[in-house]
Amino acid sequence: MMEQAFFLILATLAVGAALSVIIQRSPLYSAFSLIGVFACLAGTYIMLKAQFLGAIQMIVYAGAIMVLFVFVIMLLNIRKEETALDKYRYLWLLSIPFAATLIVEVLYTILKVTSDFTSLPEMAKRPEVGDSQSIGYGLYTGYLMPFELTSILILLAIVGSVILARREKD
Amino acid sequence: MDIYKLIEWVVKIGIVFLIFMHALAYIVLLERRLLGFIQMRLGPNRVGPFGLLQPLADGIKFFFKEEIIPRDADRTLYIIAPVVALVPALTTIAVIPFGDTVNLFGRQIELSITRVDISMLVILALTSMGVYGIVLAGWSSNNKYSLMGGLRSSAQMISYELSLSLAIVGVVIFSGSLDLVQIAKEQMGTWGGIIPKWNIFTQPIGFTLFLISVIAETNRVPFDLPEAETELVAGFHTEYSSMKFAIFFIAEYANMVTASAMATLLFLGGWHGPYVEKFPLLGPVYFTMKILFFLVLYIWLRGTLPRFRYDQLMKFGWKFMIPVALANVVLVAALALFLY
């Protein structure tokens, strides 16, 4: 009962904030709405007993990545969205197939999961799945390869950004 | 739900909140008196005995000041900003343990408002939200000094958050837990009956890194660039007056207390001290004393050190702190691998 109430509150806030991200004309308001979305998602993770994921969501997305977004917006000091964007109105047409694909994907997943609960991976059914120990264990056993590949990808991105920043200077 | 559990929570939250808010007011007084002592003057000593009622006078004064909102400010964000700064600063206290479990009124009571198994991460997550208050204040004031303050603050916070987290990683490797209670319990006991088993002795590099980063994170001297008054008037809170300014002030001091509590729990053994196993109620006393030590250190630094230049701050953060912190993590991990 309590859980459902909290879920409803968080879900409503998340959807509202997500709508606000795309509706707001000021980029800074959009960025802060996005932080709201991340915070609500973190709350949802915690309710699913994945506190570790919730905390990481706040630290990495809401705390670090969004600070960079806000930093850039403030540095460029954009007050309102440029009206020049009206030139790209044809992009509006593109959004329809993309949105349709996304909705179909989500519906498919929901139908599949609810119709056949046993198809969930073994890990997801255990209650302690969200704590730091089981995530660490998973990362260094079953998911070692993707984990290491991701870290190499991030390293490449760092090196790439340093090289790009250097080239700008010359 | 157990009704007694609910009462216990409400009472704990009430007591902690009251003590916390009063402590914040008196830390300001302590700072002013100590700074006066360092600078060979008296400091505020007129309101009440030894100036002890000064915080009350300050509070009343803040409430009665005229409130000014600049004409071209972004009103919504301008009003929200102090709230965004204060809420995370006060929420962190909920997961900080200030003692072991005690027996009171026939009940086992944990001396913390709530206990989560990742309290370390919760504090990091909340403190990383605090920066938005400063950033929003700087941007919404529509003032170039405020904007510069907000920009500096966000850059500084991202830079020093990295070395802060890396310094904490060392402690986490040694304790094998993200739970502050567990981390403090690992530091129980002594070596040879004299030296306490605190992490500060096993990880001096980590402690130094943590202390420097945490001072930068709380925007205090010598890292108070976001409000450097000699160049930015007052930085991000230039346009704020009355109680809204006071809220930023409270948030800054609340962050100082949280930082000191974290330093105590991670490196100074938390609530541990002589005879604390026999009398668990001594725990909060030791804990407060250790926090007070760090607060005095903060004030002492403010009275002693000049401010960094901005490029020096960035260079120091990225080219010294982070490499050393990374090396420290490697060193600690290697030690932990061979020792355990």
Does residue B209 contact residue B163 with C-beta atoms inside 8 Å? yes
Query: pLDDT under 50 in chain A at which residues?
Result: 123
Rounded distance between C-alpha atoms, residue B270 and residue B291, angstroms: 9
Q: With contact defined as beta carbons under 8 Å apart, do A26 and A80 qualify?
A: yes
- pLDDT for position A101: 93
Q: Summarize the confidence of residues B265-275 as an average pLDDT.
A: 82
Phi, psi of B141 (to 5 degrees): -70, -20
Residue (of B92, B16, B68) closest to B244 by Cα position: B68
Please determine, for the modelled complex, whether the ipTM score is greater than 0.85.
Answer: no
**Is 60 exceeded by the pLDDT of residue B120?**
yes
CB spacing of A71 vs B136 below 8 angstroms = no
Distances (CA, A) of A137 to A59, A147, B171: 21, 12, 19
Q: Does domain A2-119 have CATH number 1.10.10.60?
A: no
Select from B274, B139, B268 the least CA-distant residue to B211. B268
Distance CA B83, CA B244 (A): 9
pLDDT mean across residues, chain B:
84
For A36-73, b/e burial (b = at least 16 CB within 10 A) is: bbbbbbbbbbbeeebbbbbbbbbbebbbbebbebbbeb
Nearest CA in chain B to A32: B132
Rounded CA separation B10/B92 (Å): 17
pLDDT at B324: 92
d(CA B277, CA A93): 70
Partners of residue B77 in chain A, C-beta under 8 Å? 28-29, 32
- Token pair recorded at residue B303: 């009275």
- Quote the CA–CA distance of B18 and B299 in Å, as a whole number: 23
Q: How big is the CA angle at A153 (ends A148 and A154), to the nearest 5 degrees? A: 100
Lowest mean pLDDT among B72-81, B103-112, B243-252: B103-112
Record the tokens describing residue A163, joined without a space: 């090289």
Contacting residues for B80 by C-beta, under 8 A, at least 6 apart? B136
Average pLDDT over residues B210-214: 91
Asked whether residue B218 is domain-assigned, the answer is yes
- The average pLDDT across B174-191 equals 81
The least confident of A76-85, B117-126, B258-267 is A76-85
Q: Is the pLDDT of residue B298 over 60?
A: yes
The answer to whether residue B151 sits within a structural domain is yes
Q: What letter would DSSP give residue B319?
A: I
3-state helix, strand, coil in chain A (%, to 5): 85, 0, 15
Number of domains in chain B: 1
Distance CA B234, CA B36 (A): 21
Q: Is B125 in contact with A58 (CB distance < 8 Å)?
A: yes
As beta bridge partners, residue B107 has B104
| The pLDDT of residue B1 is above 70 | no
- pTM for the whole structure: 0.83
Buried b (16+ CB within 10 A) or exposed e, A80-112: eeeeeeeeeeeeeeeeeeeeeeeeeeeeeeeee
Which structural domain, as residue segments, surrounds residue B284? 70-339
Alpha helices in A61-131 (DSSP H): 66-76, 91-115, 122-125
Give which of B87, B170, B96, B69 is closest to B129, Cα–Cα.
B87
Comparison of pLDDT for B73 and A168, the residue scoring more: B73
Percent of the residues in chain B that have a pLDDT greater than 90, as a whole number: 5
Q: Let me know if residue B290 belongs to a domain.
A: yes
Contacts of A77 in chain B (CB under 8 A): 147
Answer whether B154 sits within 8 Å of A58, measured CB to CB.
no
Within a domain: B95: yes
- With a pLDDT cut of 70, the percent of chain B lying above it is 98
B155 at A interface, C-beta within 8 A? yes
pLDDT of residue A55: 86
Q: Which of A25, A33, A60, A74 to mutate to test the interface with B (most CBs of B within 10 A)?
A: A74
B18 located within any domain: no
User: Cβ contact (<8 Å) for A74 and B151?
Assistant: yes
DSSP string of B66-126, one letter each residue = PP---TTS-HHHHHHHHHHHHHHHHHGGGG---S--EEETTEEE-SSS---TTHHHHHHHH
Which pLDDT score is estimated for B235?
74
Residues of B whose CB is below 8 A from A62: 125, 128-129
pLDDT of residue B240: 82
Give tens-digit pLDDT for B144-169.
888 888 888 878 888 888 889 899 98
- A141 vs A49, A50, A146, B81, B115, CA distance in Å? 22, 19, 11, 44, 29
Other CB atoms within a 10 A radius of the CB of residue B16 amount to: 17
Q: For chain A, which residues make up each domain, given as ranges?
A: 2-119
Q: Tokens for B102, please give them.
A: 């005690």
Task: Round to whole Å and give the CA distance between B263 and B291.
Answer: 8
- Could you report the per-residue pLDDT of B8-53, keeping only the tens digit for each? 888 888 888 888 888 888 888 888 888 888 888 888 888 878 888 8
